[in-house]
Amino acid sequence: MARVSGGDKIRDAFKRLADNLASAKSVQVGFLEDATYPDGMSVATVAALNEYGHANTPPRPFFRNMIRAKSGRWPQGLRQALADNDYEASTALDLLGATVAGQLQESITELRSPPLAPSTIRAKGHDKPLIDTGHMLSSVSYRVVQGETT
């Protein structure tokens, strides 16, 4: 924020800052509702099935692991992004969203436990549990939600 002096100027600057911060409500990170596989299956559904397990497939908590490992750094990252971008909330939340989305993709690619069954490794040709076509990985996204949310 530019340096401001004088009563009315300071009051106006704080009002602009407050209005700016109030206009950007949140950032959403993950598998947004429009992300689907070619067959129409929701990527969020596939991600949830992997996260929590299903039928004979064990849970592979890539999302929860990422949140547990990284979320403690997000407030400081947002504070720094605000300070570095003249307290422009939308820009700061956009930067935070990109960071968290990257951390989620990293969690997907790094997860190795529980390991795949030997038959699955043979069928896929590799031992990476959450990587098959790469579609889920490339579907990680984020968006800044502006204005009033309902």
Quick check: 5 pLDDT over 80? no
Local structure of residue 37 (DSSP, 8 states)? -
What is the Cα gyration radius of the chain? 20
C-alpha torsion sign, points 32, 38, 41, 45: negative
State pTM to two decimals. Answer: 0.82
d(CA 63, CA 70): 11
Give residues with Cβ within 8 angstroms of 109, minimum separation 6. 128, 130, 131, 137
Tens of pLDDT along 23-76?
667 899 999 999 999 999 999 999 999 999 999 899 999 999 999 999 999 999
d(CA 142, CA 98): 7
- Identify the pLDDT of residue 21: 64
